[in-house]
Amino acid sequence: MATAARMPSVTLSETPLAEFAAEVRAGLTKPGQKELPSKYLYDEAGSALFEVICLLPEYGLCRAGARLLKRHAEDIADLLPLPVAVAELGSGTGAKTRWMLEALARRQAVNYFPIDISRSALWRCSQELGWIDSVSVVGFEHEYLDGLVSVASRRGPGEHLLVLFLGSTIGNFDRPAGEEFLRRVRGILHPGDALLLATDLEKPVPDLLLAYDDPAGVTAAFNRNLLARINRGLDADFDLAQFEHEVRYEEGERRIEMHLRSRSAQTVHVPLAGLRVSLRPGETIWTESSHKYNCREVAEMGARAGFRCAAQWTDAEWPFAQSLFFTQ
């Protein structure tokens, strides 16, 4: 049946428990500042909380990104060489991608390959976007670069690739790591391929602090859920009430940092990581950084990574940029 042929499909690869345990262990035994990898914020509960964050009036980032795509998807599509397949890094539920896929589907049939480590987000993305006329969806439950290598090997003859990196997730890398990540993306691409990169831009510090420490406490719950995830996955005994959500703006690095501050002297056991961690009162675990950019440095970073910036679109309401790069 025609409908069966259009059912979205997903290829899977689990993050091994041993890797999770090793990364938690490395972060919590690090001399000096303890830390946890921010990618583990996004289990099923974390991804759901992040979707709520995107609805908060104080956090304009997701709406700005979606507004730009809604307004400029046609302009972006006009600049792309056809035929083009679309790969999305960290697709989430893919809601903002709809505009881009619809603009391309008016020009050609589109193969869309969302890549995400969250199986449920990927599934919802496939369900939501797989029914757009002339769009076929194959999801990849992978880390970004592994997924992109697989996608690149599936492109049709003469087909270009447009890579979408839309959620401003580049901001969650340190600046040098972000640039290195772009260089690796470039290494997977061919001449004439494109990258649409979203970046959150610098804005007044009080606005940023409120965006990451909202009065409804959703971001605090999102942050603490990282400990809950370790409790669930590694049989740990973090008492969530003993940790306070803390947000700082680091002027020199131009980044927001999220921490979890221990309210007391405490010892936590993480049996599946073979770990017993002691925390001093007031000691923090650093859980995420969110770097803020300006348009010029985004273009320059892309250029150093081997791309040419063809166009940038910015949102006036919430400083945010979409930058279109081509391989050079």
Q: Is 166 in the site for ligand AVI (CB under 6 A)?
A: no
Q: Please identify, using beta-carbon distances, which residue of 91 and 168 lies nearer to ligand AVI.
A: 168
Stretch that binds ligand AVI, among 5-13, 146-154, 164-172, 264-272 (CB under 6 A): 164-172
Q: How far apart, in whole angstroms, are the C-alpha atoms of residue 168 and residue 288? A: 13
Residue 111 engages ligand AVI in binding (rule: CB under 6 A): no
Token duo for residue 158: 């003469």
* Residues 218 to 237 in contact with ligand AVI, rule: CB under 6 A: 219
How far apart are CB 113 and ligand AVI at their closest, in Å? 20
Cα–Cα distance measured from residue 98 to residue 130, given in angstroms and rounded to the nearest whole number: 10
Candidates 19-27, 162-170, 234-242, 294-302; binding stretch for ligand AVI (CB under 6 A)? 162-170
Asked if 97 interacts with ligand AVI (CB under 6 A), we say no
| Per CB under 6 A, 126 contacts ligand AVI | no
Q: Are 37 and 23 in contact, with CB atoms under 8 Å apart? A: yes
Does the footprint of ligand AVI cover residue 168 (CB under 6 A)? yes
284 binds ligand AVI (CB under 6 A): no
Long-range contacts of 94-97 (CB under 8 A, 24+ apart): 94/124, 94/125, 94/126, 94/128, 94/129, 95/66, 95/128, 96/62, 96/65, 96/66, 96/69, 96/166, 97/69, 97/125, 97/129, 97/164, 97/166
Sheet of strand 284-291: strand arrangement: 34-35, 284-291, 255-262, 243-250
Label residue 157 exposed, middle or buried (CB < 10 Å: 0-12, 13-18, 19+). exposed
Q: How many residues bind ligand AVI (CB under 6 A)?
A: 11
Q: Which of 181, 212, 293, 318 binds ligand AVI (CB under 6 A)?
A: 212
Least Å distance, CB 53 to ligand AVI, is 5
From the CB of 184, what's the least distance to ligand AVI, in Å?
A: 19
Which residues here bind ligand AVI, judged by CB under 6 A?
A: 53, 61, 167-169, 171-172, 212, 219, 288, 290
